[in-house]
Chain A
Amino acid sequence: MTEQEIQEKGYANPDALVSTQWVAEHLGDTENVRIVESDEDVLLYDIGHVPNSVKVDWVEDLNDPLMRDYLDPEHFANLMAELGISPDTTVIFYGDRNNWWATYALWVFGLFGHDNVKVMDGGRIKWEAEGREMTQEVPSFARADYPVPERDDSRIRAFKEDVDRHLEARGQMVDVRSPGEYRGELLHMPDYPQEGALRGGHIPGAANVPWARAVREDGTFKSADELKEIYEGEVGLSQGEDVIAYCRIGERSSHTWFVLKYLLGYEGVRNYDGSWTEWGNLVRAPIER
Chain B
Amino acid sequence: MEAEKERTDRNRKSGAALLVEHARRPRHKNDWGVPEDADVAIPGGSPECGGSVVIYLKGDADGNVEWLSWTGQGDTISMGATSIVVERILSEGLSMQEVLEMDYEGFVDSLGREIIGSRTRHATLGLSTIKAAVRQYQRAGRSGGRAAV
> Which residues of A approach B to under 8 Å, CB–CB?
40-44, 46-47, 57, 59-60, 177-178, 186, 189-192, 195, 248, 252
Contact = CB atoms under 8 A, between A and B. Distances in A.
12 contacts: A40-B50, A40-B75, A41-B75, A41-B76, A43-B16, A43-B75, A44-B76, A189-B46, A190-B43, A190-B129, A190-B132, A252-B48
Main SS class of interface, A: loop
Contact of A47 (B48, B76, B119): B76
Nearest to B104: A191
Contact of B115 (A43, A189, A192): A43
A191 B16 contact: no
Contact of A189 (B45, B77, B117): B45
B118 interface: yes
B144 interface: no
B19 interface: yes
A46 B16 contact: yes
B48 A178 contact: yes
B75 A191 contact: no
Contact of B49 (A57, A190, A248): A248
Given A46-B20, A59-B118, A252-B48, 8 more contacts: A40-B50, A42-B77, A43-B23, A43-B80, A178-B48, A191-B129, A191-B131, A248-B49
Interface string B116-143: 0111010000001101100000000000
Contacts, number: 56
A191 B49 contact: no
Contact of B44 (A42, A46, A190, A248): A190
Contacts of B77: 41-43
Given A42-B77, A46-B16, A178-B48, A195 B119 contact: no
Interface in B12-30: 13, 16, 19-20, 23
A60 B117 contact: yes
Given A41-B77, A47-B76, A191 B19 contact: no
Contacts of A177: 48
A195 B49 CA distance: 11
A248 B49 CA distance: 10
Nearest to A138: B9
Contacts of A40: 50, 75
A112 B76 CA distance: 31
Nearest to A59: B118
Contact of A190 (B13, B48, B128): B128
A47 B20 contact: yes
A212 to B, nearest CB: 9
Nearest to A100: B48
Contacts of B76: 41-44, 47
Residue of B19, B42, B76, B80 with highest tally of chain A CB at under 10 A: B76
Q: Which of A192, A195, A248, A252 has the most CB of B within 10 A?
A: A192
B84 to A, nearest CB: 13
A139 to B, nearest CB: 15
Nearest to A178: B48
A253 B144 CA distance: 44
A47 B43 CA distance: 28
Given A189-B45, A190-B132, A191-B132, A42 B20 contact: no
